[in-house]
Structure 1
Amino acid sequence: MHRSRVYALLIDTPTPEAEAAAAFWAAALGATARPLPGEEQFISLHGAMPGLIVAVQSVDDAPRFHVDIETDDVEAETRRLLGLGAEEVSRWRECRTLRVPGGHLMCVLPVHSDPAVFEAEASTWP
């Protein structure tokens, strides 16, 4: 058995537009835009959606939204989602990027949240 939960909503934005997009989304959602130290491609939108990480991610691709799923077993969660119809697109460090039915992207990553939050909110899968 393994556990997983939705961890983050990422607003993927072409790099030249990332700062303006972060300012827009921060104002629109009543959030505070904060660069993430050591991860220059992310601008956190603190307070945008309580209980969920929301950030603008600078990308060299088209604008889109994607969801991050955190799990205590990346391989098992990836297999579960592949079985539901997702296709693996790429791997980066311990993360897996999947394209799900409908064409959206989803990333599967190791647990990043506080362990107590993960324990309280994660679903258990066989």
Structure 2
Amino acid sequence: MHHSRLCALVLDSQVDDLAEGARFWSAALGKPVVTAGPDDDGRYAELKTAEDEPIILLQKVGHESRVHLDIESDDIDAEADRLQALGARRVAFVRGRWWVMQAPTGHHFCVVHKQRDSFGTHLNRWDCG
């Protein structure tokens, strides 16, 4: 048994200056910029969201700008297995920390470790086996 839920909306941004994009999305969504992100290397910026809302993360990328979802789980391998059984495919295991997956629709998304202390009320419980 493992748990998962929608974790984040990630704005993949092909830009030179991520701070400018963060200022735009902050003003557009009414969410202040709160952090430079998990690696603090200028590749990430996070907007403040409530505990029961998805995280909104801007990520500086080399590919075309797009939006992708992150699904957080207390067992990322079990969640990737479950999603693969539903028709997704594994694309890459990144930095030994998360799975990049591709849905049957062609969209890429990530399966990541739990990002907040509490999973909150929108938690799914999966009895796979």
| Shorter-chain TM-score range | 0.7 to 0.9
Partner of 1:3 in structure 2? Answer: 3
Segments of 5+ residues of structure 1 without an aligned counterpart are none
User: 1: CA distance between counterparts of 2:120 and 2:49?
Assistant: 21
Q: Number of paired residues?
A: 124
Partner of 2:87 in structure 1? Answer: 85
Q: How large is the Cα RMSD of the aligned pairs?
A: 2.0
Structure 1 residues 43 and 73 mapped into 2: Cα distance closer, same or farther (>3 Å)?
same
Partner of 1:45 in structure 2? Answer: 47
Answer yes or no: is the 8 Å Cα contact 1:30–1:48 preserved in 2: no
SS at match of 1:23: helix
Alpha-carbon distance, 1:10 to partner: 0.4
Segments of 5+ residues of structure 2 without an aligned counterpart are none
Letter in 2 for 1:67: L
Deviations along 1:40-98, one digit per CA (max 9) or x if unpaired, are 31111113896211011111111010111111111110011111111111111220000
TM-score (norm 2): 0.85
Alpha-carbon distance, 1:24 to partner: 1.4
Structure 1 stretches of at least 4 aligned residues deviating more than 3 Å after TM superposition: 47-50
Match of 2:98 among 90, 95, 100: 95
> Structure 2 matches for 1:51-90, cutoff 5 A?
51-90=53-92
Higher strand share: 1
Higher helix share: 1
Letter in 2 for 1:13: S
User: 2: CA distance between counterparts of 1:73 and 1:36?
Assistant: 22
Letter in 1 for 2:81: R
